């Protein structure tokens, strides 16, 4: 899980031209079938050490896509809402085809 969360977080930062200094906090969720590590541990592993991170479990809904980690990042940015890149990697891109980039 760590490598995939690092990839997701790195992509979110890069596509939105953000650095770790722009982060205020990050909320991670994971589907119930993921229980090998905390997604926040991946953030700490790439140097995000001075902002609050929290992990929670997604609802266990029948038919939901398995093996999904989501993140909600609170950031400081001058980008207008229309330029914010919402990142969906791999099969998760099917979850929000309307905003996946």
How many domains, the chain? 1
What's the whole-model pTM score? 0.89
Give the range of the structural domain holding residue 88, as residue numbers without chain letter: 2-96
Concatenating the DSSP letter of every residue in 45-80 gives HTT--SS-EEEEEPP--TTPPSS-EEEEEEE-----
Output the domain CATH number for residue 68. Answer: 3.30.1330.40
- 101 found inside a domain: no
- 17 found inside a domain: yes
pLDDT per residue as tens digits for the range 39-93: 999 999 999 999 999 999 999 999 999 999 999 999 999 999 999 999 999 888 7
Burial class (CB in 10 A: 0-12, 13-18, 19+), 45: middle
- 34 found inside a domain: yes
């Amino acid at each position: 899980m760590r490598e995939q969360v690092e990839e997701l977080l790195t992509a979110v930062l890069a596509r939105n031209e953000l650095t770790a200094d722009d982060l205020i906090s990050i909320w991670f969720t994971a589907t119930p079938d993921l229980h090998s590590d905390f997604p926040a541990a991946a953030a700490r592993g790439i140097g995000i050490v001075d902002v609050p991170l929290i992990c929670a479990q997604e609802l266990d809904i029948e038919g939901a896509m398995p093996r999904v980690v989501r993140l909600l990042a609170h950031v400081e940015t001058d980008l207008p809402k229309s330029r914010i890149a919402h990142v969906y990697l791999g099969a998760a891109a099917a979850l929000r085809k309307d905003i996946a980039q």
